[in-house]
Amino acid sequence: APRGVWCPACGLAALAPTTQRDVLIALAKQSILSKLRLSDRPNITQPMPRGALLTALHRMYAQRTDVSPGMPRDDSTSHLHPGMGSSTSRSVCLHFHFTQELAGSTEILQATLYLFWAVPGPGTHPVTVRLLQPDPTGLNTTVASETRLEVQRAGWATLDVGQAVQSLFSQGSPRLTVELEVAHDWGSPLLAGHSDSHWPFVAAQARARLPHQIQQR
């Protein structure tokens, strides 16, 4: 260090600027890795292009802040279905929109619906899950499948919706409607109002359907 230059805080000889920089960068690395409980920085084999990733994240966030497709619209306001279950039943509708570019040339390999149940108390709570799809006119919806679950405790539950999503895509309507029907005293079966970390969502594995190669016979 230049003669006579002292580190003002500790009275030791100040480090040469480059040495100080190296020490600080090493300290920053160690500090971040230790707070993330990582022994070393992860090795990313196939880093996704930064631009594509940030676009996807912004789009996902933008959807959530305006239309909130993943969030259950509160259709459950005393929505009684005549002739469906007990007259005291109530239902919640979830609408999942898939982006257009996914709908066309995509083959759905699997799709899973994730729901975070908020149970009103001990015991089992029956819930009917209906997957609805628009009829050819697009004016009404028909029940594509119906599943009856017995929910014992709060937490995440999954449901395979691969078939329903694939048939929606083949019809060219990239929108899945899920109806949850519960007994009236249950209130809302989903964790409402919480931060978006408990919103229902659909995770799908898809494959771009390659244009059919013309087989030379």
82 — phi, psi (to 5°)? -60, 130
Segment near other proteins (CB under 8 A); pick from 49-57, 78-86, 112-120, 183-191: 49-57
For the bound state, the minimum distance from the C-beta of residue 61 to other proteins, rounded and expressed in Å, comes to 11
Instruction: Choose which of 2, 3, 4, 9 interacts with other proteins (CB under 8 A).
Output: 9
Task: Give whole-number Cα distances, 104 to 20, 145, 169, 176, in Å.
Answer: 56, 23, 7, 15
Segment near other proteins (CB under 8 A); pick from 40-48, 80-88, 163-171, 199-207: 40-48
> Whose CA is closest to 181, among 121, 114, 127, 116?
127
203 sits near other proteins (criterion: CB under 8 A): no
The Cα 73–Cα 173 span in angstroms is: 19
> Whose CA is closest to 70, among 14, 116, 132, 39?
116
Instruction: Choose which of 13, 16, 19, 38 interacts with other proteins (CB under 8 A).
Output: 38
Q: Which residues lie near other proteins (CB under 8 A)? A: 7-9, 24-25, 27-29, 31-32, 35-36, 38, 41-47, 50, 53-54, 57
